[in-house]
């Protein structure tokens, strides 16, 4: 019998063949050996208050893992404060983290508490910590030494008590070798270390997640429950999902809304066998299926990065590791209007 594991530690039976971990903002769904191993690691890590570094590919669920650590740990009654380091301009990052006094800089008309103060007694989650500038890394290192800080424009030293969980899309060890990240900061962040498996390494979980997301979106839009046809399920199982769970979720969202009737078919022109088994579905031509998969991934990835950058093409290109001109061509190729994604 499978289990539904809740953050408070309750374990309840489930009639399904999957394990779901509620973290109050989402679910970690799956039953693969790779995922079950990760869940056991999360349980052990959650039991201490030491800093944690979570590494994994984009879309693999790093924030969900961080939330599980928080809600399974001793600080579950405290706040969970996520910070997207890649989306904060360098000149604002210290003010966002540590707060500021009135008049500390232009437009600072009121004093403001920082995120480290908001996270007092709980967990501060630094996502994309590898995107921090050299200046921001120094400020973070100084804070980690004793969790003391000064708001901008203040002479008062304040202290907070937070558990730090950081996440990176690329191994920090590589970034340190390339001179982009401080070794001493990496060592402070990497006292406990988790590597999230990509979806392609979680055997069977892509199909489980796809069915799960169908249920979520059908409930959200108050639609009758829909299901995938056999050919689409086979395609889901065979596709590598380079964008991981986030790519799968966005793909299911779109395909469900575009599907006619109660059956979801990934490609409306899928060929079918004739003869002894009329109507039996067949996998699409490899090149055509691959081209469609690449197109879907490109569009979803560009949209995700552009939303993260709040419509700023230059920043989005930097996050994606592409030149601005090349990134602009992707926007044009997929008909994406950056202005609609800006704040």
Q: How confident is the model at residue 233 (pLDDT cuts 50, 70, 90)?
A: very high
Share of the chain above pLDDT 70, in %: 82
Most confident of 94-108, 135-149, 296-310: 135-149
Asked whether residue 4 carries a pLDDT value surpassing 70, the answer given is no
Count other Cβ atoms within 10 Å, centred on residue 219: 10
Closest-CA residue to 122 (of 165, 86, 185): 165
Which carries the bigger pLDDT value, residue 109 or residue 294? 294
CATH number of 48-197: 3.40.50.300
**Residue pLDDT, tens place only, 280-337:** 344 455 666 677 777 778 888 888 888 888 888 888 888 888 888 888 888 888 778 7
**Residue pLDDT, tens place only, 256-272:** 998 888 999 876 343 33
What is the model's pLDDT at position 260? 83
Q: How confident is the model at residue 246 (pLDDT cuts 50, 70, 90)?
A: very high
**Residue pLDDT, tens place only, 172-231:** 999 999 999 999 999 999 999 999 999 999 999 999 999 999 999 999 999 999 999 998
Q: Report whether 282 contacts 270 (CB < 8 A).
A: yes
Find residue 125's DSSP bridge partners. Answer: 82, 165
What is the model's pLDDT at position 335? 76
What is the model's pLDDT at position 103? 63
Asked whether residue 278 carries a pLDDT value surpassing 70, the answer given is no
What would the mean pLDDT of 78-83 be, rounded to a whole number?
96
Q: Report whether 249 contacts 304 (CB < 8 A).
A: no
Domain boundaries in the chain? 48-197, 201-341
Asked whether residue 19 carries a pLDDT value surpassing 60, the answer given is no
Round to whole Å and give the CA distance between 30 and 207: 9
Asked whether residue 83 carries a pLDDT value surpassing 80, the answer given is yes
Asked whether residue 26 carries a pLDDT value surpassing 70, the answer given is no
Asked whether residue 117 carries a pLDDT value surpassing 90, the answer given is yes
What is the model's pLDDT at position 308? 82
- pTM for this predicted structure: 0.71
Asked whether residue 6 carries a pLDDT value surpassing 90, the answer given is no
**Can you list the positions of beta strands (E) in the chain?**
2-5, 11-14, 19-22, 27-30, 52-55, 80-84, 123-127, 148-149, 158-159, 163-168, 192-195, 227-228, 263-264
Round to whole Å and give the CA distance between 205 and 130: 28
Round to whole Å and give the CA distance between 262 and 73: 42
The backbone torsions φ and ψ at residue 293, rounded to the nearest 5 degrees and listed phi first, read: -65, -40
Which carries the bigger pLDDT value, residue 342 or residue 322? 322
What is the pLDDT of the chain when averaged over all its residues?
Answer: 83
Closest-CA residue to 21 (of 76, 72, 59): 72
Q: Report whether 224 contacts 218 (CB < 8 A).
A: yes
Q: What is the assigned CATH class of domain 201-341?
A: mainly alpha
What is the model's pLDDT at position 151? 87
């Amino acid at each position: 019998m499978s289990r539904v594991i809740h953050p408070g530690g309750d374990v309840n039976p489930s009639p399904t063949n999957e394990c779901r971990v509620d973290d109050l903002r989402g679910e970690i769904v799956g039953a693969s050996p790779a995922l079950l191993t990760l869940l056991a690691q999360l349980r052990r890590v959650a039991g201490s208050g030491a800093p944690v570094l979570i590494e994994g590919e984009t879309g693999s669920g790093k924030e969900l893992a961080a939330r599980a650590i928080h809600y399974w740990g001793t600080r579950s009654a405290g706040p969970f404060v996520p910070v997207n380091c890649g989306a904060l301009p360098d000149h604002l990052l210290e003010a966002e983290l540590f707060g500021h006094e009135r008049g500390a800089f232009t437009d600072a008309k009121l004093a403001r508490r920082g995120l480290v103060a908001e996270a007092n007694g709980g967990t501060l989650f630094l996502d994309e910590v590898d995107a921090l500038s050299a200046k921001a890394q120094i400020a973070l290192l100084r804070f980690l030494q004793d969790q003391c800080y000064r708001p901008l424009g203040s002479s008062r030293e304040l202290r907070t008590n937070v558990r730090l969980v950081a996440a990176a899309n690329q191994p920090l060890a590589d970034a340190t070798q390339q001179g982009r990240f401080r070794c001493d900061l990496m060592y402070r962040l990497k006292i406990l270390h988790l590597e999230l498996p990509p979806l392609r390494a979680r055997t069977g979980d892509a199909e489980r997640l796809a069915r799960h997301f169908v249920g979520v979106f059908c409930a959200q839009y108050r639609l009758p429950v829909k299901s995938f046809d056999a050919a689409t399920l086979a395609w889901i199982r065979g596709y590598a999902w380079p964008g991981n769970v986030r790519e799968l979720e966005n793909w299911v969202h779109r395909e469900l809304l575009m599907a006619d009737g109660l059956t979801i078919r990934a490609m409306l022109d899928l060929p079918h066998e004739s003869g002894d088994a009329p109507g039996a579905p067949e996998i699409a031509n490899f090149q055509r299926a691959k081209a469609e998969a690449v197109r879907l991934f490109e569009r979803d990835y560009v949209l995700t990065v552009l939303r993260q950058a709040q419509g700023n093409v230059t920043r989005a290109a930097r996050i994606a590791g592409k030149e601005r001109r090349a990134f602009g061509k992707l926007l044009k190729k997929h008909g994406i209007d950056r202005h609609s994604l800006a704040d």
